[in-house]
Amino acid sequence: MGNVRPWLTTRCWRNGSGNCWSRPRRSPRRRWKKMFGGLVFTVQGNTVVGVVGDELLVRVAPDDTEQALAQPGARPFEVRGRISKGWVTVAGEVLDDHVLNDWLQLGRKATAALPPK
């Protein structure tokens, strides 16, 4: 699929009416910022997903981790050789519209359980 970063930022973040944002709008509730050497998207201060190179970084709830890691292209997120619990990295080549939407829903579900920052 190539570099997923521009595709993610222009296609996946939709408002309640289903209209696609040409660029994610910053608001007190939804923001995007540079982190982990890429771009992350937050809701109420909590990171939902991020794009690092050609890969998607997804927050996952502890109960969903095992099932998430069983999906094609998924592996634990590692920082300096240490696995970060609650995060999964997904290879960009497995992401199409349907698969990306599933990962976004999983990230939103995990973030919804967290208090705002």
Which has more confidence, 77 or 13? 77
For position 37, what pLDDT does the model report?
Answer: 73
Average pLDDT of span 56-84: 93
What pTM, to 2 d.p., does this model score? Answer: 0.72
Its domain, for residue 78, covers 5-112
User: Does residue 35 lie in a domain region?
Assistant: yes
User: Does residue 117 lie in a domain region?
Assistant: no
Q: In this structure, are residues 26 and 17 in contact, taking their beta carbons and an 8 Å threshold?
A: no
Please count the structural domains in the chain. 1
Q: Reply yes or no on whether the pLDDT at 10 is more than 70.
A: no
For position 23, what pLDDT does the model report?
Answer: 44
Domain containing residue 11: CATH number: 3.90.1150
What pLDDT, in 10s, does the model give residues 15-63? 343 433 334 445 556 566 777 677 888 888 899 998 888 889 999 999 9
Q: In this structure, are residues 8 and 51 in contact, taking their beta carbons and an 8 Å threshold?
A: yes
Q: In this structure, are residues 89 and 72 in contact, taking their beta carbons and an 8 Å threshold?
A: no
